[in-house]
Amino acid sequence: MSDDPRFELEPERYELTEPARYRFEPWPADVDRRAFLRVFGVMGGGLVVAAALPVRAQQASGRGQAGLESPSEIEAWIHLDARGRVTAFTGKVEIGQNARTSLTQVVADELRVPVEAIAFVMADTDLTPFDQGTFGSRTTPAMAPVLGRAAATAREMLIDLAAARWQVDRAGLAAEAGRVRAADGRTVSYGDLAAGRRLAGRVTAGVASPDRWRLRGTPVRKVDGRTFVTGRHVFTPDLVRPNMGYGVMLRPPAYGATPVAVDDSGARRVPGVHVVRDGVFIGVVATGERAARRAAAAVTIEWNIPTGQPTSETVYAHLKRTAGSGAAGSGGRGGGAPRVVGDIVQARRESAQVVEASYHIPYIAHVPLEPRAAVAEWADGRVTVWTGTQRPFGVRSEVASAFGLAEDRVRVIVPDMGSGYGGKHTGEQAIEAARLARAAGRPVKLVYGRDEEFAWGYFRPAGVIDVKAGVDRDGRLTFWEFDNYNSGSAGLPTPYVVPNQRVAFHPSDSPLRQGSYRGLAATANHYAREMHMDALARASGLDPVAFRLKNLDNARIRAVLEAAASKIGWPAPARPGRSLGIACGTEKGSYVATAAEVMKSADGFEVTRIVVSFECGAIVNPDGLRNQVEGSIVQGLGGALFEAIRFAGGRIQNGTMATYRVPRFKDVPPIEVVLIDRRDLPSAGAGETPIVCVAPAIGSAARGVGEVLPQLPVTLKNDLGGRFFTG
């Protein structure tokens, strides 16, 4: 692993962001007092605890936030009212990763109240403390302890209040089930203790260690699960505001296209329709959704489309050609000096086996089922935008910047949303809805069509990964050269012990808009690395598991690798005609190994079984974790087997659900999940890492069926490509 700070490449800065045009001002020194007053103003009297971190955790670096490392930085709130109701505030968003439930468990556990007593206000820039965004699997390792300490502090304050009320030593008091209890049996409810007060505290208490967990570590049900099975949950596209109009954008037919002539006379004739034109921005607003679509269809635009844009076939040469150029485009930054250790030339000379390959990684799409959507409403010089984004405060900045407003004139609220997978870091939909709403003089809802979501969101970066590596006669790695062009640097360093290394990330000019994705580049980097390890083992005549263990000193990776191998029955497949493959790795502080079983089929091969072993420290919610791990595996199947964006001439050629194949019921083999609960270790994030080894496990298994090309999706040399279309 990269312990040397010189080799830290700050993956988030490159992979999570579009151009860094955002500035945040440090909070003024009286932020505590003002924030307390704000919470009392919204919530009424009672008890408030502000959770502040003295120094921002290094790994939480998203966009440049250097100005926010002041001691007054508030991370979260807890408010308790006179009726004993607890409201917790966090800037995190719920995107299906179950943060609302897992954070509720933490607060309820520390405060010693039932889960039902807690309400969470999440991701409302007027109400919740600043948060950089919900990405990088940071909610459990970073936000949960903050809220836990705040809840523990609230509990201790309540015990102090009871001690003062009864004039007894607090040492004899205990908090339980929403009450403080004295040794003589007297009890008082939290609500009675908080009634009529305006008590504010800053976090002082520590958080309980896992051996003292009661609610944490248990499979608490999703707190509002019922609203999803009844259809009552209000996602952004479901929101309605008084006098709301419906917006439709007129999109260019290709990237870089500019309007030459616009005829909107047909649309303007429709009563109640606003046509909004502002440079390349062209949209309509109508009173009804169907009327808006009809009005948009009545606008005719002649476009100038630039030629010579790269295609999904030529993109790999383009990425290598433009590497390190710092060229314009969304990828031209974030590289760093390569990691160089030892003497590669000498080590290569002394190697018994050398394997070289160049792996191609295509762009893939997130395809969140809830497309980008926003409702914008202007009042008194302020705009409120409800929208699905993983970065509510970032989107607040984007909107403020787009309209030349101070940030306190913009409020962004994120209803629990229909997923993101890293694909909703940006706020174009919020800006567009706000622009339409300002022109129409009424609230406007804008919901992207599926074609817009494909074409005008962003993709997981395409890339080329060149690997050269050698082993000696004993099966030990001698050298490791790893050059990643454009994919990104997450998961770039090898966890294997290699004395001679050169590891580099080369940002390139990406022809398509690209950004974050579940697991970031760790999936691409794990694919190239683990496929290469598999090839080295085969070239050396060694068992791929034994070869890895020989070159691995990280005990946590070894543990998951051995667990997965044992579970799938390595090295022998359970049935003849099947082939096994395996891969392992670590990312974002958690550890994963995936084993796959495949068999020959009419269109190449078919995955018949997946085993995954996963370790992320102490498990907060075992059922929620299992759900996340299974989901990661299923999502990983898409990128491993058939997902790839095809494009040419500035157009996405498979930007529909019919032509861009995502995993469906029929694609999912039996998945066996082995969870390793390490109560002795802090909890790490778990929503992303299980995805990273799916493709190399399948790829190595497919090598038992035929020659596998060095690319994603996993493709046999003579594969006719039948898997790539929904049909």
Partner 1 sequence: MAEFVLRVNGRTHRVEGEPGDSLLAVLRYDLGLTGSKFGCGEGHCGACTVMIDGQAARSCVVRIGAVAGKAITTIEGLAGDEPGARLHPVQEAFLEAEAFQCGYCTPGMVMATVGLLRSVPNPTDADIARILDRNVCRCGTYPRIVQAVKDAARRARTAPARIES
Which residues are near partner 1 by CB under 8 A?
95-98, 221-222, 225-235, 237-238, 240, 246, 288-290, 293, 367-371, 416-419, 421, 447, 449-450, 623, 627-628, 630-635, 637, 656-658, 662-666, 668, 671, 726
Report CA Rg, the chain.
27
What is the nearest approach in angstroms of partner 1 to the Cβ of residue 706?
Answer: 26
Identity of the amino acid at 401:
S
What is the nearest approach in angstroms of partner 1 to the Cβ of residue 625?
Answer: 12
Q: Contact 357/533 with Cβ under 8 angstroms?
A: no
E-only strand ranges, 293-368: 300-304, 339-341, 353-361
What is the nearest approach in angstroms of partner 1 to the Cβ of residue 27?
Answer: 32
Between 77 and 454, CB nearer to partner 1? 454
What is the nearest approach in angstroms of partner 1 to the Cβ of residue 117?
Answer: 19
Report helix, strand or coil for 579.
strand
Phi, psi of 558 (to 5 degrees): -55, -40
What is the nearest approach in angstroms of partner 1 to the Cβ of residue 568?
Answer: 17
Residue appearing with tokens 């936000």: 143
Between 43 and 296, CB nearer to partner 1? 296
Where b means 16+ CB within 10 Å and e means fewer, 60-84 reads bbbbebeebeeebbbbbbbbbbbeb
CA atoms within 13 A on the CB side of 506: 21
Residues 6+ apart with CB under 8 A from 348: 354, 468, 470, 478, 479
Between 13 and 294, CB nearer to partner 1? 294
Cα 351 from Cα 329, distance rounded (Å): 40
The β-bridge partners of 483 are 466, 504
What is the nearest approach in angstroms of partner 1 to the Cβ of residue 95?
Answer: 6
Between 332 and 418, CB nearer to partner 1? 418
Between 288 and 571, CB nearer to partner 1? 288
Neighbours of 229 (CB within 10 A): 8
Rounded to 10°, the helix 694-702/522-540 angle is 30
Cα 379 from Cα 615, distance rounded (Å): 49
Between 371 and 461, CB nearer to partner 1? 371
Report strand pairing: 477-485 vs 500-506. parallel
What is the nearest approach in angstroms of partner 1 to the Cβ of residue 228?
Answer: 3
Between 10 and 224, CB nearer to partner 1? 224
Between 335 and 388, CB nearer to partner 1? 388
Neighbours of 233 (CB within 10 A): 16
Between 58 and 230, CB nearer to partner 1? 230
Cα 33 from Cα 35, distance rounded (Å): 5
Q: Contact 661/605 with Cβ under 8 angstroms?
A: no
What is the nearest approach in angstroms of partner 1 to the Cβ of residue 445?
Answer: 9
What is the nearest approach in angstroms of partner 1 to the Cβ of residue 451?
Answer: 8
What is the nearest approach in angstroms of partner 1 to the Cβ of residue 87?
Answer: 20
Between 237 and 334, CB nearer to partner 1? 237
C-alpha distances (whole Å) from 277 to each of 320, 400, 457, 717 are 39, 20, 21, 50
Cα 31 from Cα 345, distance rounded (Å): 57
Between 240 and 379, CB nearer to partner 1? 240
What is the nearest approach in angstroms of partner 1 to the Cβ of residue 225?
Answer: 5
